[in-house]
Amino acid sequence: MENRNNHALIQALLDCALACEHCASSCLQEEDLNMMVDCIKLDRDCADICTQAARLLQRESVIGKQYLLLCEEICRLCAAECGKHDHEHCRQCAVTCEECADACHAHHEPIHQD
């Protein structure tokens, strides 16, 4: 079963989505909200893309493995942005995003163009 082989990857995607949602919510509580705008946007985008990737893999979509290319990219962008901030929630999010990006990189397949 492909789903069993993807269990760890799906969990990494869901963990990343949760970390990003937590980070975005925590950023909204920071004093200098204007400084956190890009972080919040990337957190939300990353959470959405990771959640969608997990759904595609769970249902064994024909584009699931290709979608991981996008997921890897957004995770790396989000990690880089979170890495600019000294908040603990940003630090934790950056680590989780990097781990997820590495997992996506290890499992993605090229996009086939006919």
Q: Which CATH number covers residue 10?
A: 1.20.1270.360
Band (pLDDT 50/70/90 cuts) for residue 2 is low
33 vs 43, residue with greater confidence? 43
pLDDT number for residue 114 = 58
Q: Compute the average pLDDT of residues 16-42.
A: 95
Is residue 112 in a domain? no
Q: Is 42 exposed, middle or buried (0-12, 13-18, 19+ CB in 10 A)?
A: buried
What share of the chain in percent tops pLDDT 70? 92
Residue 80 C-beta-side C-alpha neighbours within 13 Å: 7
Split into its structural domains, the chain has a count of: 1
- Give the domain range for residue 46: 2-107
Does the reported pTM lie above 0.85?
yes
Tell me: pLDDT of 1 over 70. no
User: What average pLDDT does the structure give for the chain?
Assistant: 93
